Structure 1
Amino acid sequence: MRLSFLEPLYAEPGPFASVYLDTSRDVEHPERAIALRWQRLRDTLARQGADRPTLGTLERVVGADTDVPGLHGQAVFTAHGALVLDGELPAPPAHDSARYGTLPDAMPLVAQHLPEIPYLAVVVHYGGLPTAETHGTVTVAAEAGMWPASVVAPGERLLRRVPVSEWHESAVRLGHRLDEWARHDGADALVIGGDGWACNVLIRRLPGTLRRRVVRVGGPTPADTGRGLLEPQLDSVFRGRMAAHDRTLVERFIARRARSGAAADGLSATVAALQRGQVAALLLNHPPASSLHLWTGPRPTQLALSEQELRTFGVRAPHEDHADEALVRALVGTGAELVVVPGSELPLREGVGALLRYTDPGTPS
């Protein structure tokens, strides 16, 4: 998973206010419920030292996502009274939270973007007589997305209305358009739902490479919900699955670790590699526990297991921060990726490992 969407978070130094809030409006008097939850978080931030400009900015932004339907949440980050990132969460956070500190609390936002699987979703509807395939209209809606984040932030959408009499020929052209789109976005799957006959015509006319990535789904297929196309079906298709790109990184890590190559296993070796900017991808069995801390300096690569270690690098005033905050900043600052892989599939020492860009004799493993 690439973390470039977090770059605005680190354009300015902290301290940062990080707020995660359930902003779903599927309850009675939702604005009142959101206001009450925000008031509790506001009090928490005030006790942690957040200033009035910071609280005022958050007051204006929290709950402003009134155009997002269904269950969802909001992640808001400010620094020095200015909004630096406002992100929609595809599901409400497990619990509302607010933190004011040196680094932004970005891992919960990252976790809601995982496993970030690129896909195309297509809904095909046939409106006509049930016994005639020459009358009526075929309506097609297609959308690119990154599951699961795109269910609340739908991507580009293509719409087509085709007379049934022209559907066989039009499906060929549409198939090539979808193939180009899938190649451009690196889609792992083409998820198709809708009416049987019209879907079958399209699938049979897809280029072979794309046809092999088709996942046919059933169930209701509305295209006007305000959320991602085929949202309920996407969950059943992708839950528990890794993106193909991430799978490749895991396999590369396993191969390199087996021959003591460019791979780090364990927290100490991984932190040392991050200090050198060597990490191409950080592998985690799960996000670090909130009780685990690292020491940090002002630059992304300034992180260490102890205060003394960081001082030997010339950092005059190290801060003790949550490990997940320090790791995410280091990944964003060095352009590294993040892969979360189950421990049952790939056990990592202390739950942490790294695929390296290069290795040298001084790199621990």
Structure 2
Amino acid sequence: MKLQFLDPLYAHPGPVASVYLDTSRDLDEADGAIESRWRRLRKSLLAHDADRATVDAIDEAVGADREVAGRHGQALFAAHGELLLTQCLPEPPVRDTAQYGMLPDTLPLALQHAPDIPYAVVILHRVHVGEHGGADEKLEIDCESGRWPTGRVAPGARSHRRTPVDTWPKEVEELAGELAAGMDTAGTETVVVAGDPWAVNSLMRAAPSRLQSALVTLKDGQHRHREPGRALLEEELAVLLDGRLPDRDRHQLDTFLGQRARHPEYVEGLPAVVAALQRGQAQTLLLSRPVSLDRHLWVGAGPGHLALTGEELNAFGLHYYWEEPAPGAALIRAAAGTQAELIAVPDEELPLEDGVAVALRYTSS
């Protein structure tokens, strides 16, 4: 998974206020509950010396995801009185948190983006318009794209159109072409199709071979109604995509396994990871889920300014550095700043020393 969506957070110097808040709408008096939770976090930020302008910038954005139904959360970041980034989270945080420090607390946000699988959904419905039965029979076409799992609460482009049933044979060729093009432009890996069996079968037949390999069809009536602000076929997508990795991540994981088999001391464990990120040598940062990083790191102003001790940074000629209490934030900043990607894998599937590893861009031997 690429980390460029975090770039706005690293374009500004710290300190940064980082807030993770449960903004679920699946209970009565949701607004009051959200306001109460935020009030506690606001007091905590001010008590930890966050300036009032920065806290006020977050205050204005809290609850801005009110159009999204169901369980979800919000991540908000601000610095020097400016809101830097706010995103709706597909899952509410385990607990509400507010931190004020030199680095933004980006690890929880990055993990909620992973594995970042590009997908598309197509729903085909036959409807009758007017009083003449088949003469006014139409086919409604709903299409939506997104990236899983953030697409649950932040789906991408959506289109809706209606076409006469007798023109569907021509329309289906165009639709198949659009979906195939999405595999090139957006990297779409899974296309879920549901609805009228005749229309679905027509799309299957019209799809070029590379699109057919990505198509997953659902039985008519199997799909559920879409809740406000949430993805089409959200529950079905969860069954299909939860626990999967995108193709690129699987390739990077294979690269890591090969490197670990030859030189585990270069790619696994916190010392190896820090060394690779220092040199900009990491292609991919791997983290075990659940993430458990309990060792402080030392960091400087630049993304490659990362070390196990302050003495090491001093030996590099740095005179401004600090001990960072959130090692996850330091690792994610270093990965994003050196264009490394992120893969999060369950610990039971891939145990890692210290819970961290890297796939290298190149090796010295």
* 1:56 to 2:59 alignment: no
* 1:347 to 2:351 alignment: yes
* 1:147 to 2:148 alignment: yes
Change in CA separation of 1:313 and 1:358 when aligned onto 2, cut-off 3 Å: same
Instruction: Report the more deviating stretch, 95-104 or 290-299.
Output: 290-299
For 2:20, the aligned partner's letter is Y
Q: By how many angstroms is 1:224 displaced?
A: 7.2
Instruction: Report the more deviating stretch, 343-352 or 98-107.
Output: 343-352
Q: Which ranges of structure 2 fall in alignment gaps of 5 or more residues?
A: none
Q: What's the % identity of the aligned pairs?
A: 45
Q: By how many angstroms is 1:316 displaced?
A: 2.0
TM-score normalised per structure 2? 0.92
Equivalent runs, 1:188-199 vs 2, <5 Å? 188-199=189-200
Separation (CA, whole Å) in 1 of partners of 2:26 and 2:302? 42
Q: Residue 334 of structure 1 aligns with which residue?
A: 338
* 1:225 to 2:228 alignment: yes
Q: Residue 47 of structure 1 aligns with which residue?
A: 47
Separation (CA, whole Å) in 2 of partners of 1:8 and 1:149? 18
Equivalent runs, 1:208-219 vs 2, <5 Å? 208-218=209-219, 219=222
Q: Deviations over 1:246-285 (max 9, x none)?
A: 0111012222333349961221111011101111111122
Separation (CA, whole Å) in 1 of partners of 2:306 and 2:338? 13
Instruction: Report the more deviating stretch, 314-323 or 98-107.
Output: 314-323
Contact 2:284/2:343 (8 A) holds in 1: yes
Q: Deviations over 1:12-57 (max 9, x none)?
A: 1111110011112232222211110001111211222212112221
Equivalent runs, 1:1-365 vs 2, <5 Å? 1-128=1-128, 136-218=137-219, 219-222=222-225, 225-260=228-263, 264-286=267-289, 288-289=291-292, 291-321=294-324, 322-360=326-364
For 1:342, the aligned partner's letter is P
Q: Deviations over 1:115-166 (max 9, x none)?
A: 111111111111249xx98861111111111011112212112333121122
Alignment: residue pair count: 359
Separation (CA, whole Å) in 1 of partners of 2:297 and 2:289? 17
Separation (CA, whole Å) in 2 of partners of 1:290 and 1:264? 17
Separation (CA, whole Å) in 1 of partners of 2:263 and 2:230? 46
Separation (CA, whole Å) in 1 of partners of 2:288 and 2:302? 26
Paired residue secondary structure (2:346): coil
Q: Which ranges of structure 1 fall in alignment gaps of 5 or more residues?
A: none
Instruction: Report the more deviating stretch, 261-270 or 8-17.
Output: 261-270
Q: By how many angstroms is 1:8 displaced?
A: 0.3
RMSD: 2.2
Contact 2:301/2:320 (8 A) holds in 1: no
Contact 2:152/2:234 (8 A) holds in 1: yes
Separation (CA, whole Å) in 2 of partners of 1:165 and 1:56? 57
Separation (CA, whole Å) in 1 of partners of 2:229 and 2:356? 38
Q: By how many angstroms is 1:66 displaced?
A: 2.5
Separation (CA, whole Å) in 2 of partners of 1:101 and 1:13? 11
Contact 1:17/1:79 (8 A) holds in 2: yes
Q: By how many angstroms is 1:223 displaced?
A: 5.5
Contact 1:135/1:165 (8 A) holds in 2: no
Separation (CA, whole Å) in 2 of partners of 1:128 and 1:202? 21
Change in CA separation of 1:288 and 1:313 when aligned onto 2, cut-off 3 Å: farther
Contact 2:69/2:227 (8 A) holds in 1: no
Contact 1:119/1:182 (8 A) holds in 2: no
Change in CA separation of 1:133 and 1:340 when aligned onto 2, cut-off 3 Å: farther
Paired residue secondary structure (1:233): helix
TM-score normalised per structure 1? 0.92
Change in CA separation of 1:343 and 1:24 when aligned onto 2, cut-off 3 Å: closer
Separation (CA, whole Å) in 2 of partners of 1:165 and 1:256? 57
Separation (CA, whole Å) in 1 of partners of 2:88 and 2:162? 31
Paired residue secondary structure (1:285): strand
Separation (CA, whole Å) in 2 of partners of 1:345 and 1:223? 33
Contact 1:120/1:182 (8 A) holds in 2: no
Paired residue secondary structure (1:123): strand
Contact 1:107/1:287 (8 A) holds in 2: no
Q: Deviations over 1:169-195 (max 9, x none)?
A: 321221122111222211111111222
Instruction: Report the more deviating stretch, 297-306 or 173-182.
Output: 173-182
For 1:215, the aligned partner's letter is V
Separation (CA, whole Å) in 2 of partners of 1:126 and 1:224? 21
Contact 2:297/2:330 (8 A) holds in 1: yes
Change in CA separation of 1:211 and 1:23 when aligned onto 2, cut-off 3 Å: same
Change in CA separation of 1:346 and 1:288 when aligned onto 2, cut-off 3 Å: closer
Instruction: Report the more deviating stretch, 278-287 or 327-336.
Output: 278-287
